[in-house]
Structure 1
């Protein structure tokens, strides 16, 4: 198309398709960039979606308004070019801000979504203005370009979620997208106005790529769900900590699987050891894997135990095999699958023990907390089977109370294990929150033996059950598949590690 001419139908469709797709790519990848610092919660997702929708609304409105006052051919190229430069700089800017100026993170995050989102969303009304040559075709042109934009958004969403994130680091996705946008801007400028000025943005894209290499907050591995790192323990040569999205998720001793660093893992080991005869092999199922600390412990202390683990993140499974010493011939069978779906596939009465230790950020995935999920847990347990689950809560412990109420709806015997101030044994103290462990079964467990094991492992934790637990639960409402506001029940907290 020679300089000065209008915009062809195919070029118009390509611009609208590409810009709409780019907005959704930025939105989805922004969630992954922010997860290590804000957590992957419903609130974080809602915030990012809200900012992206605001950008689309503002860009569409301003783009249409400006297109009525200025020749759109002067605006499309700069809109693509500037948005490309911002997108390419986003990984380095966000990670640097999170480490050096965390108070500014929300503002900078909003700008890195708003600016490119608005500029890219402005392309559609600009292109529409160029394509409207007759009032008689208004409906056809607007409808066609609106449809093309929607298809672009769908493709951007599907491509990012199913292909790009599983194959490329998020920084690579954004730098690549930024490059494509700047190149597209240069082509548009040349074809519509014969101007190559947009190429001056190329050094900005290059700077974004170089800055990403030195920016803090990088990952050893970017999996489908997490920014993952394995950190060596300076005080224990064989100790490794698995860090997911900035959270100390699991501690593994490569040489001694009976060494349990985190207090909550020692608590789980204590109640399980008290619930079953010493050394007796178990058929165990684990909802969530992480570093597989407890399955390794069971294999070492109860020879013959077979553990089946449902870990949704295949990248974490690979880390266990490549960097945390999980051998193919081990007694731990790990499946990359959602825990609720994995639970359904288990035979009735097939397990002695089910362990819940699945987290998205600091929250147990809501669909693993409900009465319906617990009914399935009870189904797969045999008559003497035991369910143990690790929870994290803070503030008023509203989520933990609701989960205790949920288990009380499902199992005959329920006990709560935690710090005495958190489980109501010291009514004069204000709960601080953190990790709590719930134990549930249809047969009584020797809680005195469990307390002795907790004391022997120096956890400092206590057990409450019966009337004490009922009083602690209060009027908390059981969670169901129809009502499970887990993210809202959790109180905001600053801790970034399990203990």
Structure 2
């Protein structure tokens, strides 16, 4: 008996029989990979959806990421809770179909809500991003715990199963992020990406439901093998999906063209038939008079024109570099007022350059060189002492990109300027004016002479406005600049010397190591 007991104790345990209810490993991996990747597609495209209404700032980006992570957390929690209480086989397909419907409805919901919440406070940003992401992302996040539950037939392999599917889900997210950022957004409008994703999700859910129904090995009735049983329910889901797609076609669209970076449109000025306004993410960005390139509509462009007018004797050609193209208003002005001027324009958005060519008559040639790329990167390739004028007018919505606002960037601009060359930088800020003070201090750290052009109310901190920083290593032509500024229709003043130093105070100098641009712009 003792020998028998000993023999039984060392006998290897039999592996648990495979669970007939488990999904094939390949199918399980596909569902986790696909659902996890779909969440990241939604997250990436959501930035494009909300941008026209609330901008593309650090706060908006943080909101999208935070809402998506919250949706993943709640979806995974809910999916796990349901997996312990109901047969997961009856839930996976409906989750995919419902996620497809929610994705199809997202675009019209965001566009209608965006018109109401446009330009709102932080609460509006959070609400709009939640409308763009939360429901479909939460439904998709529920898929992984449902699949994991089905695959845990042998508790001795729990770590292996969970680890493998977790890794597959992560790979799905990485693949979707790279594919969306590098390929889809550059090739397709957001509406097409979302509708295609909705169709893929719905089709996958329907196909999975049909497969599980045919398999029928779990001993469950038809209602437990995929979509809810009644044909009426399936018809309702189909109608909801078609309604979502239909609403997309009639929802207000703020874009003529959706580029890799902007929702862009061009509007004709009803008061000036040859006038065109370029809108980026629904904000007025540039104004061009197709018949009169010397017409400068906005006050800040008039200030730039005034600075360019006093940069050299009237009519003398300049070598000018423009950081940001927009509607190419200033290059046109320089070409018209200083024949022979050579303009080099660095514009990160190739789609915007194409829109300018098609709608605003921009034509590269001997006097205009356009390079598509990041201004900071392209600046490094410019020869030293090669430019008479550098115009900084690059924005991400209403914010100067942080890496273009640092002391190192200003030093790079100084490097390409010839002795006596002038740098002008357009900046937008709001009370209490922390960013403009820091940016003046930053430019002053790289240039010996700095001045500031601004409306008196903006200097006093009573209103937000455009500011124009003017800098050079040689003394600035302040008297002629002030004379031209004073002659303009809108009131503006020129600050320099001790007055400017008093305005700047002990403001932070921005560096590549520390440049909290979005926080400085916060109006609190």
Question: Given the alignment of the two structures, is residue 446 of structure 1 paired with residue 477 of structure 2, yes or no?
Answer: yes
Partners of 1:347 and 1:435 lie apart in 2 by 30
Match of 1:497 in 2: none
Question: Given the alignment of the two structures, is residue 358 of structure 1 paired with residue 358 of structure 2, yes or no?
Answer: no
Partners of 1:224 and 1:492 lie apart in 2 by 29
Question: What SS class does the counterpart of residue 421 from structure 1 fall into?
Answer: helix
Which runs of 5 or more structure 1 residues have no equivalent in the other structure? 425-429, 494-499
Match of 1:318 among 354, 364, 367: 354
Question: Given the alignment of the two structures, is residue 68 of structure 1 paired with residue 80 of structure 2, yes or no?
Answer: no
Match of 1:173 among 190, 193, 199: 193
Partners of 2:161 and 2:133 lie apart in 1 by 28
Range with greater deviation from structure 2 (394-403 or 53-62): 53-62
Partners of 1:478 and 1:153 lie apart in 2 by 38
Match of 1:368 among 369, 391, 404: 404
Match of 1:223 among 256, 259, 275: 259
What does 1:474-493 correspond to in 2, within 5 Å? 474-492=505-523
Partners of 1:281 and 1:155 lie apart in 2 by 50
For residues 249 and 108 of structure 1, do their structure 2 counterparts lie closer, same or farther at Cα, with a shift above 3 Å needed?
closer
Match of 1:56 among 61, 69, 72: 72
Match of 1:416 in 2: 452
What does 1:369-448 correspond to in 2, within 5 Å? 369-424=405-460, 430-448=461-479
Conserved in 2, the CA contact under 8 Å of 1:94 and 1:105? Answer: no
Question: Given the alignment of the two structures, is residue 328 of structure 1 paired with residue 364 of structure 2, yes or no?
Answer: yes
Conserved in 2, the CA contact under 8 Å of 1:398 and 1:489? Answer: yes
Match of 1:149 in 2: 169
Conserved in 2, the CA contact under 8 Å of 1:367 and 1:481? Answer: yes
Task: Quote how far apart the aligned CAs of 1:460 are.
Answer: 1.5
Match of 1:38 in 2: 54
Match of 1:275 in 2: 311
Partners of 1:109 and 1:406 lie apart in 2 by 34
Task: Quote how far apart the aligned CAs of 1:111 are.
Answer: 3.8
What does 1:194-343 correspond to in 2, within 5 Å? 194=214, 198=234, 200-329=236-365, 331-343=367-379
Question: What SS class does the counterpart of residue 458 from structure 1 fall into?
Answer: coil
Question: Given the alignment of the two structures, is residue 186 of structure 1 paired with residue 206 of structure 2, yes or no?
Answer: yes
Match of 1:119 in 2: 139
Partners of 1:108 and 1:179 lie apart in 2 by 23
Question: What SS class does the counterpart of residue 310 from structure 2 fall into?
Answer: helix
What does 1:11-30 correspond to in 2, within 5 Å? 11-30=27-46
Task: Quote how far apart the aligned CAs of 1:259 are.
Answer: 0.5
Match of 2:114 among 93, 98, 104: 98
Match of 2:495 in 1: 464
The C-alpha deviation readout for 1:276-311, integer Å capped at 9, x for no partner, is 111110111111110010011001110110010110
Partners of 2:167 and 2:387 lie apart in 1 by 52
Question: What SS class does the counterpart of residue 420 from structure 2 fall into?
Answer: strand
TM-score w.r.t. the length of structure 2 is 0.90
Partners of 2:172 and 2:130 lie apart in 1 by 23
Q: Number of aligned pairs?
A: 485
For residues 238 and 270 of structure 1, do their structure 2 counterparts lie closer, same or farther at Cα, with a shift above 3 Å needed?
same
TM-score w.r.t. the length of structure 1 is 0.94
Partners of 1:101 and 1:24 lie apart in 2 by 24
For residues 163 and 349 of structure 1, do their structure 2 counterparts lie closer, same or farther at Cα, with a shift above 3 Å needed?
same
Task: Quote how far apart the aligned CAs of 1:444 are.
Answer: 1.1
Task: Quote how far apart the aligned CAs of 1:468 are.
Answer: 0.4
Task: Quote how far apart the aligned CAs of 1:200 are.
Answer: 4.4
Task: Quote how far apart the aligned CAs of 1:199 are.
Answer: 6.3
Displaced runs of 4+ in structure 1, greater than 6 A? none
Question: What SS class does the counterpart of residue 48 from structure 2 fall into?
Answer: helix
Partners of 2:29 and 2:292 lie apart in 1 by 61
Partners of 2:258 and 2:96 lie apart in 1 by 28
Question: What SS class does the counterpart of residue 93 from structure 1 fall into?
Answer: helix
Partners of 1:199 and 1:399 lie apart in 2 by 55
Partners of 1:23 and 1:322 lie apart in 2 by 35
RMSD over aligned Cα atoms: 1.6
Match of 1:427 in 2: none
Question: What SS class does the counterpart of residue 310 from structure 1 fall into?
Answer: strand
For residues 271 and 54 of structure 1, do their structure 2 counterparts lie closer, same or farther at Cα, with a shift above 3 Å needed?
same
Which of structures 1 and 2 has the larger relative contact order (alpha carbons within 8 angstroms, sep 6+)? 1
Task: Quote how far apart the aligned CAs of 1:456 are.
Answer: 2.6
Which runs of 5 or more structure 2 residues have no equivalent in the other structure? 1-19, 215-225, 229-233
Partners of 1:76 and 1:204 lie apart in 2 by 19
